[in-house]
Structure 1
Amino acid sequence: MAVAVVSIPVRDQVAGRTFYTEVIGLAVLRDEAMGPDMRWIQLQPKDGGATIALVTWFQGMPPGGVQGLMLGVDNADAEYARLSALGITVSPVDEQPWGRFTMLNDPDGNGLILAQLTAPEEFRTR
């Protein structure tokens, strides 16, 4: 069973779409009306994988309620430099046994981690 869609609660779906596509670099998979006041906005990394949906309809998921969503990147230092140049507040790049990462918040306060993951030790020795 694969992760298909992760819901990200936002106040304004259009503003969220702009941030996640123009700043983070995700691609629009679907953007369709769901009644008069909602849209199904589903985004995906350009090379595939699990998707996110920008949601406004879950009472138990207020905007900013997601923390720790980890997105894989090729180079954490390059992402830090790119986002800093755009005026985005990002944490200094940190290094842990599982990889290098920087953290930021989307406009609604959802916490994102951009991580350059390393392979587990048993895979590096093969």
Structure 2
Amino acid sequence: MTGRESPTYAPPMNITHASFVTLPVADQDRALRFYTDVLGFEITADLDMPQGRWLQVAPKGAQTVFTLSGPGMGDFEPGSTRGIMLVTTDVDADCARLAEAGTAVQGPDDLPWGRMATFRDPDGNGLMLLTEARHQEREEGDA
């Protein structure tokens, strides 16, 4: 194989989507304020469990939710998650909102796949904002 060829596997599995992504946090209340007040996510679950609080948030209508995993809810290191891509229709406006809320933002920068910026949540988890190129092209065509 050359490295670009796909190996042959058994028949495809039946996976339809990711249920949740774990974001390890040190303080669930602080993280909840950031994800709801700054990013505008909604609370999808807030339950007391024997191991601790099961707290989940998501953008409105999203299929995949984010579990804000606090102490006692697994062997996770706060701030260790990287590479979470959040798609937005207006990366520039969202970057301005993050900056107003005191969050450091790198970018946005124009890239072949769209306009993208990076930032970290209060625990240091790395997130990205992306306005996809095809969305940018539609907006520019409307102007």
- The runs of 4+ residues in structure 1 deviating greater than 4 Å are none
Residue 106 of structure 2 aligns to a residue in which SS?
coil
- Give the CA RMSD over aligned residues: 1.3
How many residues are treated as equivalent by the alignment?
A: 117
Partners of 1:82 and 1:18 lie apart in 2 by 15
Cα distance between partner residues in 2 of 1:78 and 1:29: 25
Give unpaired runs (5+ residues) of structure 1.
120-126
SS at match of 1:14: helix
TM normalised by structure 2 equals 0.76
Rounded to whole Å, the distance in 2 between the matches of 1:62 and 1:12 is 12
In structure 2, runs of 5+ residues without a counterpart are 1-14, 135-143
Match of 1:122 in 2: none
Q: Give 3-state SS (helix, strand or coil) of 2:74's partner.
A: coil
Deviates more, 1:19-28 or 1:85-94: 85-94
Query: How far is 1:33 from its partner?
Result: 0.5
Q: Secondary structure at the match of 2:32?
A: helix
TM-superposed deviation, 1:82: 1.4
Q: 1:7, CA displacement in angstroms?
A: 0.5
Distance 1:114 1:38 in 2: 30
Cα distance in 2 between the residues matched to 1:14 and 1:86: 17
1:15 to 26, 30, 39: 30
Match of 2:123 among 108, 111, 119: 108
Matches within 5 A, 1:29-108: 29-35=44-50, 38-56=52-70, 57-59=73-75, 61-108=76-123
State the shift of 1:58 in Å: 2.4
Report the identity percentage: 37
Per the normalisation by structure 1, the TM-score is 0.86
Instruction: Give the 3-state SS of the residue equivalent to 1:93 in structure 2.
Output: strand
More deviation in 81-90 or 66-75? 81-90
